[in-house]
Amino acid sequence: MSQRFSSENPQTNVGAKTGVIGNNQAQIALCESAAYLQEAIDYAPVAIAIFDREMRYLSVSRKWLEEYHLSDDIIGRSHYEIFPDITPEWKQIHQQCLAGAITQRDEDPYPRADGSMEWVSWSIRPWHTPNDEIGGITLLSENITQRKQAELVLQEREEQFRLTFEQAAIGICHVSLDGCWLLVNQRFCDIVGYEREEILALTFQDITHPDDLDTDLEYVQQLLQGIIPRYSMEKRYIHKNGSIVWINLDVSLLRKVSGEPVYFISTLQDIGERKQAQIALQQSEERYRSLIAATSQIVWTADTEGRSPDMPSMRAYTGLTESEIINLGWLNAIHPEDREKTTQAWMQAVQTTSLYEVEYRIRGADGNYRYFQGRGVPILNENGTIREWVGTCTDIHDRKQAEEALKESNILLRSILESTPDIIVVKDREGRYVALNSNTANFLGKTIEDILGKDDSEVFPPEIAREMMAKDRQIISTGITEAYEEYLSNGVTNCTFITTKAPWRDAAGNILGIVATTRDISDRKQAELALQKSEERFRSLIEATSQIVWSTDAEGAFVTDQPQWRAFTGQTVEELWGWGWLNTVHPEDKADTTEVWLAALANRTVYEADLRIQRDDGEYRYFNARGVPILNADSTIREWVGANTDITERKQAEIALAKAKEAAEAASYAKSEFLANMSHELRTPLNGILGYAQILQRSKHLQEEERSRVDVIYQCGSHLLTLINDILDLSKIEAQKVELMPSDFHLPAFLQGVAEMCRIRAELKNINFQYQLASELPIGIRADEKRLRQVLINLLSNAIKFTDAGSVTFTISYACEEKIRFEIRDTGIGVPQDKLQAIFQPFEQAGDSRRQTEGTGLGLAISQRIVELMDSTIHVQSEMGVGSIFWFDVNLPEADEWVKTSQADDKGQIIGIKDWHPKVLVVDDKWANRSVIANLLIPIGFEIAEAIDGQEGWEKVWEFQPDLVLTDLLMPKLDGFALIKRIRESDAFKDIAIIVSSASVFETDQHRSLEVGGNDFLPKPVQAIDLFQKLRKYLHLEWVYEEKKVLSLSEPENSELVAPPPAEMETLYELVMKGNFKGIIKQAALIAEMDERYIQFAQKLHQLAKGFQDQDILALIQHYK
């Protein structure tokens, strides 16, 4: 029953007042009005509830009771009592309404108790008493779920129609009655080639082929007149690009209910390809019906001899051209190892008129081979002879790899089974053996074949078999792995085993049987017994040992007597008890000892500490205290046992060693600093010496004798620089200041360059030089190219130097999966066994003293240090009179990005710059350094400005506006680092090229100069060729070279030359590699005096040396080697 306002219940009467209700006429009218209001509420189409200020129900509609499944006795009850789970958000809305706010929601989701979701529209507002006070609130709620669902269905249908229209595989259009396009989808635009906006500005008559327009319009009229309901036709549209597009058109007419036409609906499908394919399909029907019998990857046809007119799919896969593949050219794509069997299979199929089937490898366009299955069937003439062959090549590479992987997996599984000393078996759910290792068969005295397929009852005695089969069934039933001890007999011996049985599952987790591993622990059992017997002997040993053996409770307190401790410290039992042992520890060690002990206690780990303990005579001695926790079953500590070992002598030695080490490090640091500073001081004048020597070498005004003297200056300076670099390399390595500078580079080109540098010298000594490079090595690697080349050239040069006959072999291969081995093998004089380690020491030169004419004796020492930086070591094997082998293995990561090493062609001396006069600013506080750069660059066309420090350099940057800045690092006022930073931070010059040139030997300075913004580093003394290369790189220059005549070894005059003996040729090679042109001229004079037959050769050599033609001299030597 619906709830109404009642005059008998003033608490529920809207606007009721305290007091006795009179029976006057106004009161009667008021009651009638309330009755009418309640009647309206009862039958309202929406849910209505009226509450007082305490949220007690005053009145509700029938719809409210139905919607919220309430009984009709709720009047006067609290809304929060009926709905105890009402949210704080709703309670806040109620309070806001009681304060005068009106809140409503047009759409609001409402979860029902059964988990369903409904949509409601609601409003909540206050109602007022006659004196205009808020008496409570009125809540109206309408269930709009059906309307909401209908809206969602309508939206979904509209979206489905839109997607269907836009994504349809055919063209769909709406066309007005006069032919204008009203609506088109993307597929239609694609067919005719117009954008949507373009086509909507046209009519269908505009793009219809003239020959089809009349037919189309006639059908349109029949549609409009109601003669036909729809029509279909094949017609042609004119594509936007002018081409003809064949389509299949279907048109219907949309009419109103009254029958009045609205617009046309057209669907169309592009049938251009179908039109073109109809004729071709008819002609090739028989051929392609045969092809259906084969696979459809690489399709081919051939005559009875295997000649093919063309194979487009084969061309597409292999990258061969039509001319390369026709006839028998397709065989060129078959792997050479597979061609013979392919030909034999073909001839067999031709002879027997049977299926041709063979597996072979085909090279793809990417150069890789993949396995294919070739399959072909013969097409016969009416007389039964073969007219042609059709077939396919199916890619089976993945299958072949899977087969190989399966074989390897089976081999691996068998290897694992056989490599373990355990007995391993696999049984199915019926208990039959499906796999086992030879240990199982050997134990049982049977073969594997005798056991496979049988169960335990056929292998073991009945009692053992029953127990084993019961345990197997338990494992299969529970799916739980178990381990247990068991006793087994093979009829000869009784053994104790520890057996682990686990469920054998497939990929889906289904149990297929069990896997059991059984290990013989008979020896362990005997060992346990022996251990028990030795326990007493161990106790005796403790008493005899010189260590202090002790035990404590779980917290570290002595709770039992410690005789050895008392004997050493002189403490009584009472003094030792508990933590009294700490009183004998040196005061400086107590805090650390306690901290270490508490950490071990907290982590339940081994306690170990070095501490000083006071002996009974008052002397403190060093001990190494070590204790281990004994744990309970629950992993808590039960007690500690340990021992203190006297290490006083060792500690005293360590202290002395530390002091010696500190002194050595100080000396090493002083040496490194001295060498670095000395190198800087030596390099600075050498920059002027070598710089001006290079400038004079480029001069055209020197006499021969003057030029020779300049060459002597340059060669002597270069030799001095080499010695300085060797000593610094060793010093930096010893001081651990050398860092590898890895970069990506082309490994084969790098190795070829190293090999060619050494090949000529070896052949000049009539030594066979062999270069062996494994094919599987990577193309690009990441390593320190400079340091790796330094090591290899040193090892190869030594091998050639100490070999007079036989060969030098340079081999590069994989030592293991990740490391590459570099090996140099020679047939030289060898190294005595007692000198093998000495040769890696600085300044050592083991071997024939006659060969120790040059160098510092640092080559092998430096090479060994560099290889150690690469996490490797140079190894050596040698036998006197037989030869030596040097090798090292390094991990060189493969690199995807690499720059192939190349050498610039020798085009002669640079004399100018094409079409440009670049501006270079030289910043250096030394006049000689600036002068060298200026005199090298000004003659060939550069504009040069100079600055004596960084501050002046910064001012010159703005004034001179250079294209490139060449700056020193260490300068007064503003150093090079700060100058580079300023330039990079300025908007005007942040992109200018900057080359840092310094005599600093510290790689940290070099790295830092690049980090702050330098583009490149040029060490001092500056080499002209290095300077020119970097200028060309960063300024993108094109040099103008001096015209020179390049030696042609095919000239008639060279054919008449007679070369001197190999010893003289080797000497010439060493001189040209050092750039010693004066020495070459002197050697030419000596050769001319040796024999008149060598005069023309000596004259040619003299002419080339005067012109500094080092490349031509090398070519001449190689030609006559």
Digit-coded pLDDT (tens) for 817-863: 789 999 999 999 888 887 777 787 766 555 554 444 444 567 788 88
Report residue 897's pLDDT band, with 50, 70 and 90 as the boundaries: low
Neighbours of 1102 (CB within 10 A): 17
Residue 714's region, left for phi above 0, alpha for psi from -120 to 50, else beta, is alpha
| Burial of 915 per CB tally in 10 Å (0-12, 13-18, 19+) | exposed
Two structure tokens written together for 826: 């020679």
Which CATH number is 168-275's, of 3.60.15.10, 3.40.190.10, 3.90.1150.10, 3.30.450.20? Answer: 3.30.450.20
Percent of the chain past pLDDT 90, that is, above it, reads: 32
Radius of gyration of the chain (CA): 50
Measured between alpha carbons, how far is 188 from 207 in angstroms, rounded to an integer? 12
User: Is it the case that residue 1054 has pLDDT exceeding 50?
Assistant: no
Mean pLDDT of 25-30: 59
Residues counted in the chain: 1121
Two structure tokens written together for 856: 């510092």
pTM of this structure: 0.34
Most confident of 290-299, 649-658, 790-799, 1060-1069: 790-799
Question: Which run of H or of E encompasses 237?
Answer: strand 230-238
User: Is it the case that residue 647 has pLDDT exceeding 50?
Assistant: yes
Q: Which residues pair with 1018 in a beta bridge?
A: 997
- Tokens 């339940």 — which residue? 604
Q: Where are the beta strands (DSSP E) in 491-619?
A: 494-505, 511-520, 548-553, 607-614
pLDDT at 663: 72
User: Is it the case that residue 9 has pLDDT exceeding 50?
Assistant: no
pLDDT at 974: 93
Q: Which residues pair with 969 in a beta bridge?
A: none
878-894 pLDDT, tens per residue? 889 889 999 999 999 98
User: Is it the case that residue 813 has pLDDT exceeding 50?
Assistant: yes
- Provide the angle, in degrees to the nearest 10, between the axes of the packed helices 747-764 and 1062-1074: 140
User: Is it the case that residue 305 has pLDDT exceeding 50?
Assistant: yes
pLDDT at 56: 95
- Residue by residue, DSSP assigns 152-196 as HHHHHHHHHHHHHHHH-SSEEEEE-TTSBEEEE-HHHHHHHT--H
- Residue by residue, DSSP assigns 259-287 as S-EEEEEEEEEE-HHHHHHHHHHHHTHHH
Neighbours of 480 (CB within 10 A): 10
- DSSP three-state, residue 44: coil
Measured between alpha carbons, how far is 623 from 542 in angstroms, rounded to an integer? 17
Two structure tokens written together for 423: 């007995």
User: Is it the case that residue 385 has pLDDT exceeding 80?
Assistant: yes
Q: String of b and e for 662-693 (b: at least 16 CB within 10 Å)?
A: eeeeeeeeeebeebbeebbebbbebbbbbbbb
What average pLDDT does the structure give for the chain?
82
CATH number of 10-143: 3.30.450.20
Mean pLDDT of 963-987: 94
User: Is it the case that residue 528 has pLDDT exceeding 80?
Assistant: no
Mean pLDDT of 608-633: 90
Q: Please state which architecture CATH assigns to domain 739-817+826-874.
A: 2-Layer Sandwich (3.30)
Measured between alpha carbons, how far is 1090 from 749 in angstroms, rounded to an integer? 40
pLDDT at 967: 95
Mean pLDDT of 252-270: 92
Measured between alpha carbons, how far is 882 from 488 in angstroms, rounded to an integer? 61
62-93 pLDDT, tens per residue? 888 888 888 888 999 999 998 898 889 989 99
User: Is it the case that residue 134 has pLDDT exceeding 50?
Assistant: yes
More confident residue, 259 or 419: 259
Which CATH number is 910-1041's, of 3.40.50.10420, 3.40.1190.20, 3.40.720.10, 3.40.50.2300? Answer: 3.40.50.2300
pLDDT at 109: 85
Percent of the chain past pLDDT 70, that is, above it, reads: 83
Report residue 968's pLDDT band, with 50, 70 and 90 as the boundaries: very high
More confident residue, 911 or 994: 994
Q: String of b and e for 204-228 (b: at least 16 CB within 10 Å)?
A: beebbeeeeeeebeebbeebeeeee
Q: Where are the beta strands (DSSP E) in 396-493?
A: 423-428, 433-436, 482-489
Question: Which run of H or of E encompasses 639?
Answer: strand 637-646
Q: String of b and e for 443-466 (b: at least 16 CB within 10 Å)?
A: bbeeeeeebeeebbeebbeeebbe
Instruction: Check the CA dihedral 118-123-129-135 and report its sign.
Output: positive
Measured between alpha carbons, how far is 538 from 636 in angstroms, rounded to an integer? 26
Report residue 405's pLDDT band, with 50, 70 and 90 as the boundaries: confident
Two structure tokens written together for 643: 């021992």
Mean pLDDT of 211-238: 94
Pick from 372, 220, 350: nearest CA to 295 = 372
Q: Which fold has domain 545-646?
A: Beta-Lactamase (3.30.450)
Pick from 843, 831, 822: nearest CA to 803 = 831
Measured between alpha carbons, how far is 836 from 885 in angstroms, rounded to an integer? 11
Report residue 16's pLDDT band, with 50, 70 and 90 as the boundaries: very low
pLDDT at 288: 54
Q: Report whether 195 contacts 202 (CB < 8 A).
A: no
Q: Where are the beta strands (DSSP E) in 731-818?
A: 743-746, 768-773, 780-783, 807-814
Pick from 49, 51, 66: nearest CA to 143 = 66
Q: Which fold has domain 284-401?
A: Beta-Lactamase (3.30.450)
Q: String of b and e for 379-402 (b: at least 16 CB within 10 Å)?
A: eeeeeeeeebbbbbbbbbeeebee
- Provide the angle, in degrees to the nearest 10, between the axes of the packed helices 1003-1011 and 976-985: 20
467-481 pLDDT, tens per residue? 889 999 999 999 999
Q: Which fold has domain 420-523?
A: Beta-Lactamase (3.30.450)
565-581 pLDDT, tens per residue? 888 888 888 888 888 88
pLDDT at 904: 39
